[in-house]
Amino acid sequence: MRQRGDSQLANVGKTPQLRRSASMATATSMGYCMKCKAQRDMKDPEQITMKNGRPATQGTCPMCGTKIFKIGAAK
């Protein structure tokens, strides 16, 4: 069995810190197009609220016109 190092034991029980890079800031209107099978920038992104109250972003793929839907609030 592998033993934990001192640096790993120091972080036990702590909430991990999220790192945000400049690319994440511009990726707010990105979504996965199921038809193109690729990450695409959404055309006309719109913030919506689903029936269960969770925030989401809805837009269209600029290449094929398919609806792109991403669950979660834009940051």
**Phi, psi angle pair for 37, to nearest 5°:** 55, 50
Q: What is the pTM of this model?
A: 0.57
Place of tokens 């016109």: 65
pLDDT tens per residue, range 13-61: 555 443 433 333 344 589 999 999 999 999 999 999 999 999 999 999 9
Q: How far apart are CA 29 and CA 49, in angstroms?
A: 16
Please tell me the predicted confidence (pLDDT) of residue 65: 94
